[in-house]
Chain A
């Protein structure tokens, strides 16, 4: 089981190194352990996270790609779909079985044909367009809805922090 997971992860790493999507790099933290990756994601242009480079950690289960990996930002984040501890809450990281009524399309959910690249691209679009119905960070969701200006201020502060520029 773990053998096929390892081969798949190696193939995905190779693919990401050869054709990296713009503004994203990802790879294993340590060659000895292919099940823990680090990724850097650039905040998409024209959004309040523009310019920032956000580090995150990806943990893969031994039965990957049957089960989805877990993703957690390792820098400070303030976003409606990211928990205070950095864990990311988006549908692609959930298996289709988590949806009780099967109403949500299974395309947006985890399946073995998804990939690390697709997850990271989904996270980029999540940064650009938060889903304020998900309650991962209620304060952020509320501020995103009611006080966009303040939200942007906080986001810019975080962007500077990731670049090591004093506010």
Chain B
């Protein structure tokens, strides 16, 4: 398990710091005019897509419209392999909320999505509505789609974006069980140096991300196709492809998944609300920080009462994630000498621990049975009283 700190994976702020921020501020009036004009293009595209019947020329037109509206420029890397039509599953990394459009422009692919849009528009955007209530249904849906359509399917098994500077999120393995061969593609994106607004930032919505696409003059996407990978064991295939894409982007792979990202975002958001709401009472962010760490130590300690707290604390400082620390300890990555006396330990860690449990073991059961009978009896009496029944 790699030791990459999850907070290095994301941009906390979309904006640069120092004098480069001045550039963004100076650019702002132009940015807003651009947003207005581009909103008109979006509106027009939406109207056309809803009113006109679906046809190829409409799709081409919408594709142009979207390109103008979001300022998207797509390039193919000079070292790229050709797109190999043998493989109908494309695996890509995630860089922004509009990756599906970029993939649609360069390869005839669609990405499964939950949104229902007019056909021409969703095709131009490169998304396809599918039932995503669970993995099996979705896989069946994708297989069926591949057998009936000429389009291929792209999947981004990170299922979340990162800042694309340190590492990829851990790939989910199910997309690799659809077919035994996949073609990986590495996507990079960059924006003008004069308006250095990042593509993603932590805890922002799709809508804000799309807004910033309209605000900046343009966004260049560079795609690099890699050699097809084949393996009938999808657990091996996923790691191979993950390595290929990471190498092509000169990034690392790590063990953080999209669930970790969501969890981290939630903590980040609460933290931000806390520090906004009480700017005077909490002058020192270190205080909040240490309270937060103490709370996490406590949580781990409840799960694993035998592990000394200083060991837990040391690992938590690295991971900042309760689940990962628990996994590290259970997997033996973190070694420790067990606390000699579990009862003494647990009475220190929490009042809820089972210090004198052994003694009242027998008593516990009888009182549980008694409690059960008492609870039913009381509920019964309450019910009879409430409904005015006499003969029961």
Q: Which residues of A contact B (CB under 8 A)?
A: 1, 4, 7-8, 10-15, 17-18, 25, 27-28, 30-31, 38, 40, 42, 51-53, 65-66, 96, 98, 100-103, 105-107, 111-113, 159-160, 162-166
Contact A101:B132 (CB < 8 A) given known A4-B304, A106-B263, A163-B376: yes
Chain A residues in 8 Å Cβ range of B375: 25, 40, 42, 53
Chain B residues in 8 Å Cβ range of A40: 372, 375-376
B 366-392 contacts with A by CB, 8 A: 367-368, 371-372, 375-376, 379-380, 382-384, 386, 389, 392
Closest 5 CB pairs of A and B: A100-B135, A15-B352, A102-B258, A106-B259, A10-B354
Instruction: Judge whether B266 and A107 touch: CB under 8 Å.
Output: yes
Complex Cα gap A6–B346 (Å): 14
Complex Cα gap A121–B354 (Å): 22
Residue among A8, A13, A27 making CB contact with B303, cutoff 8 Å: A8
Give the interface centre of B352, B357, B382, B386 by most chain A CB atoms within 10 Å. B352
Instruction: Judge whether A102 and B135 touch: CB under 8 Å.
Output: no
Complex interface bits, B267-309 against A, C-beta within 8 A gives 1, otherwise 0 = 0000000000000000000000000000000010011111000
Instruction: Judge whether B353 and A163 touch: CB under 8 Å.
Output: no
Complex interface bits, B322-343 against A, C-beta within 8 A gives 1, otherwise 0 = 1100100010000000000010
CB closest residue in chain A, given B296: A113
Interface of B is mostly: helix
User: Which size class do B's interface residues fall under?
Assistant: 35 or more
Instruction: Judge whether B172 and A8 touch: CB under 8 Å.
Output: no
Instruction: Judge whether B257 and A103 touch: CB under 8 Å.
Output: no
Complex Cα gap A143–B96 (Å): 43
Chain A residues in 8 Å Cβ range of B40: none
Chain A residues in 8 Å Cβ range of B306: 4, 7
